[in-house]
Chain A
Amino acid sequence: MKSGTTFAACAALIRRDLTLIWRRRGDALNPILFALIVVALFPLALGPEPENLRRIAAGVVFVAILLAGLLALDTLFRGDYEDGSLEQLVLSPHPLSLLLACKIAVHWLTTALPLIAVAPLLGELLHQSEAVRWVLPTALLLATPLLSLIGAVCVALTVGMQRSGMLLALLVLPLYVPVLIFGAGACNAAQIGLPYAAPLLWLGAALVLALVLAPLACAAALRISLS
């Protein structure tokens, strides 16, 4: 009898999740379309003056991507919970936190990374200033994994409930506030010519902390949800 290595288990999980996403690749576009529509709502509501829009561009794109990520969050464990494969994951002989970290990583790669890729386009729609062209994607690269990790803990807590959508948002959004403040803060500082390294470094520090702690918290929360 051989029970495979932890590495093999993580590889199998990543391969399975990527295959599943590939089979449902139509859904992958939804967060992008959502962010695009949210961003398009602002010129409609505030008027098309480029000066107005330029001032709020980075913040709006940041919030739109944050909300798109929030909507995609529910799919992280929902399917696995409903068909029982989450149970099998918990029962596997490998560290649950490591397996969940793999799941979160795949989820981030397939939902957040495409959003970051279209962020410059979303910014252009709002006449973003030259100064935030690189700061915004950088801030998003640091902030979105943080959002995924924090969100995963909350999803793990609520996955056992039937209609948890609104509750999840109420739980997650307050926790997203500091990330938004530092991320959008870096963009705003860059826009008015102030140094913006400090908020980005804060995001990086928080990301390192979350990378270590969030999978552990996520594993504990899932065990509670399954019982």
Chain B
Amino acid sequence: MPTNELHERPALLEARGLAFARNDEPIFGPLDFALHAGEVVLIEGDNGTGKSTLLRVLSGLLEPTSGEIRLNGEPLTLARLSPQVALLSHQTGLKVELTALENLRFAAGLGGQRAGMSPPTALAGVGLDGYADVPVRQLSAGQKKRVALARVLLAPVGLWLLDEPYANLDLDGIHLVNRLLEQHASRGGAALITSHGAYAYTSGTPRRIPLKADRP
């Protein structure tokens, strides 16, 4: 049965008893969840509930205080970061002195590029064709976000960790993010996105992982 096959394969991302504390102050967890290929999961929580921290832990940038993370069934360690993950964080990771295209060329050189995708096509994929040679400094906040999304789109990875992908985007941009997420899920990828609830992934009924502040 296809459903059984799906669950026999190790989950793309699996967290068991995952918790993180900073200076003995618990930030989130313990959390248990699994993310399979083709899924888009929304992490919901108010400001300060540790959504961004959770994504940084899952990407391998931070070491969890307890619990473990498995990527395709293999434990993720800080020493061996998996080339399976693309992270979009609050800081876009773009050089404002360089043009949008130069930024993407660098990203492709650093992390490789998805088959059938190139820096110009990724830029066109986020609706920024015509802005290739404009320095990122001159782009608006929403356009910078789109360039950062193009970097995620270009990366040859299965798992997207997107921190507030809707922030700064206009309605058109929000639809664009949803469309990119659908395409990514349909080609066997998966995505975890955070949202504080104002905008959300609206296609179908995405699974939600609520984060609550359990501090007094």
Interface set of A (CB-CB < 8 Å, partner B): 1-4, 8-9, 11-13, 15-16, 19-20, 23-24, 79, 82-85, 87-94, 223, 226-227
Band of interface residues on B: 35 or more
Say whether B91 contacts A3, CB under 8 Å. no
Q: Chain A: which residue is nearest B61 at the CB level?
A: A226
Instruction: Indicate which residue in B90, B107, B111, B113 contacts A93 across the interface (CB closer than 8 Å).
Output: B111
Cβ contact within 8 Å between A3 and B156: yes
| Identity of the chain B residue whose Cβ is nearest the Cβ of A5 in the assembled complex | B112
CB of A178 to closest CB in B, whole Å: 31
B175 at the A interface (CB under 8 A) = no
Are the CB atoms of A12 and B156 closer together than 8 Å? no
**Which residues on the A side are within 8 Å of B96 (C-beta)?**
83
**CB distance A23 to B110 under 8 Å?**
no
Task: Say whether B196 faces chain A, with CB atoms less than 8 Å apart.
Answer: no
Offer 28 A-B interface pairs, CB within 8 angstroms, sorted by A.
A1-B112, A2-B115, A4-B110, A4-B111, A4-B112, A12-B105, A12-B108, A16-B95, A16-B98, A16-B106, A19-B97, A20-B98, A79-B95, A83-B92, A84-B94, A85-B93, A85-B94, A87-B93, A88-B93, A88-B110, A88-B111, A89-B110, A90-B61, A91-B61, A91-B87, A93-B112, A227-B61, A227-B63
With both beta carbons as reference points, the residue of chain A lying nearest to B114 in the complex is identified as A1
Which chain A residue shows the least CB distance to B92?
A84
Residues A90 and B63 in contact in the complex (CB < 8 Å), given A1-B156, A84-B89: no
The answer, yes or no, to whether B213 is at the interface (CB within 8 Å) is: no
Q: Which residues of B contact A4 (CB under 8 A)?
A: 108-113
B85: interface (CB < 8 Å): yes
In the bound complex, residues from chain A placing their C-beta under 8 Å from that of B87 are 87-88, 91
Interface residues of B (CB under 8 A from A): 59-63, 78, 81-83, 85-87, 89-98, 102, 105-115, 156-157
| B111 surroundings in chain A (CB, below 8 A) | 3-4, 9, 88, 92-93
* Chain B CB within 10 Å, residue with most, of A1, A12, A19: A1
User: Which residues in A have their C-beta under 8 angstroms from that of B110?
Assistant: 4, 9, 12-13, 88-89, 92, 94
Least distance between B105 CB and chain A CB atoms (Å): 7
Query: A1-B156, A88-B107, A91-B60 in contact; A83/B114 too (CB < 8 A)?
Result: no
Residue of A nearest to B158 (CB): A1
Other contacts beyond A84-B90, A85-B95, A93-B111: 6, CB < 8 A? A4-B112, A20-B97, A85-B94, A90-B61, A93-B81, A93-B82
